[in-house]
Amino acid sequence: MAYGKKLDPAPITAGLSVRELVEKHLYAYNAARLREACQLFTEKICQPDVTIGVTLSGALTPTGLGTAALVPLIRAGLVDWVVSTGANLYHDMHRSLGFELYGSTPFTNDADLREQHIIRIYDILFDQEVLLESDAFLRQCIAGPEFQRSMSTAELHHLLGRYTQARERALGTDYVSMLTAAHEAGVPLYTSSPGDSTIGMNVAAMALSGNRLRFDVEADVNETTAIVYRAKKSGGKSAVIIFGGGSPKNFILQTEPQLQEIMGIAEKGHDYFIQFTDARPDTGGLSGATPSEAMTWGKVDPDMLPDTVVCYVDSTIALPIFAAYALEQAGTRPLKRLYDARDEMLRELSDDYAAARS
């Protein structure tokens, strides 16, 4: 009697491709969940009518996975919008400015590193001057006239992407940051807690000296909600791909309760949910909350629970495998350029909110 798919192991041979590794050798436990996530993404989520949102938490970009994995996915049209910690966008700029980060060991003498002005992110090391010079670059950018107003974090990051793009080209480097790639592809980048990063710290410091840049967090909430609403109202679907958890996870998922609970607009929840996390559900935290729990809040469509996968694995393991498999199996999609459609999507949401209240 067959209770599932027969496990038919075969010897691993030299020259094994990522596709073959995923499909033929990720047999069970969280390896199987990683395979299921890869296959769900390429077979169902990468369809043209699905709007794909990605969240990033944890120090992913210092490892190099921004340019190595996320930028290729953005350029392939496999990421339509992003909610990230500010730290991931800030640290992704260092290499755009010509600075270097080094792989080392977590078993260092941190007192010695402090004496030498060396910063440590677990097993990644870089000189403190990298932070100081990156801060100076940021301040120079946001002192410009185009920044002297209140704006959503998507607009701030889009404007910054023009500057990282110019710096990368001037240096003649092959490195491409997420800010640059998103700027070019029209992919909006949001930060759910804009004050909780070095970008926000520099904005705050410059406000004390008269700079007029302010974060419009209400615009962030409305724009992200409008993205999901447009995806669903147009007859398409909405997918969330979550690397880690934390504030970005909640921010992308709250778009559905915003529609249903706050705005009174009939909706059922996101259609697809994939999460790579090391957070346990039994502690009660948001980071470990399952798709089934999210369904009770209206965040996930109850009819679509079979199309949800949670894989308990370090994102730095999952992301390169996931990206390589997706790029090989799904290929490319036309860019949705949601950044360019923000005003139109907001008008549509506003009109329907007014109709729901009348």
Look at residue 165 in the predicted model and tell me its pLDDT. 98
Helix, coil or strand: residue 108: coil
Does residue 31 belong to any structural domain of this protein? no
Look at residue 5 in the predicted model and tell me its pLDDT. 80
Look at residue 76 in the predicted model and tell me its pLDDT. 98
Does residue 218 belong to any structural domain of this protein? yes
Active site residue 249: no
List per-residue pLDDT tens for the chain, 358 residues long: 467 788 888 999 999 999 999 999 999 999 999 999 999 999 999 999 999 999 999 999 999 999 999 999 999 999 999 999 999 999 999 999 999 999 999 999 999 999 999 999 999 999 999 999 999 999 999 999 999 999 999 999 999 999 999 999 999 999 999 999 999 999 999 999 999 999 999 999 999 999 999 999 999 999 999 999 999 999 999 999 999 999 999 999 999 999 999 999 999 999 999 999 999 888 888 898 898 989 898 999 999 999 999 999 999 999 999 999 999 999 999 999 999 999 999 999 999 999 999 8
Number of folded domains that form the chain: 1
Q: How far is CA 305 from the centre of its chain?
A: 22
Asked whether the whole model's pTM tops 0.85, one would answer: yes
Does residue 258 belong to any structural domain of this protein? yes
Does residue 23 belong to any structural domain of this protein? no
Look at residue 6 in the predicted model and tell me its pLDDT. 83
Query: In this structure, which amino acid lies at residue 31?
Result: A
Does residue 275 belong to any structural domain of this protein? yes
Q: Identify the burial level of 156 via C-beta atoms within 10 angstroms of its C-beta, where 0-12 means exposed, 13-18 middle and 19 or more buried.
A: buried
Query: Facing residues of 276 across strands?
Result: 243, 311
CB atoms within 10 A of CB 146: 12
Look at residue 45 in the predicted model and tell me its pLDDT. 98
Q: Which of 232, 237, 299, 336 is catalytic?
A: 299
Look at residue 8 in the predicted model and tell me its pLDDT. 86
Does residue 267 belong to any structural domain of this protein? yes
Look at residue 42 in the predicted model and tell me its pLDDT. 98
Domain that holds residue 303: 40-357
Does residue 249 belong to any structural domain of this protein? yes
What's 237's domain CATH number?
3.40.910.10
Does residue 350 belong to any structural domain of this protein? yes
Distance between CA 254 and CA 251 in Å, rounded?
A: 5
Say if CB 73 and CB 330 are below 8 A apart.
no
Distance between CA 56 and CA 252 in Å, rounded?
A: 11
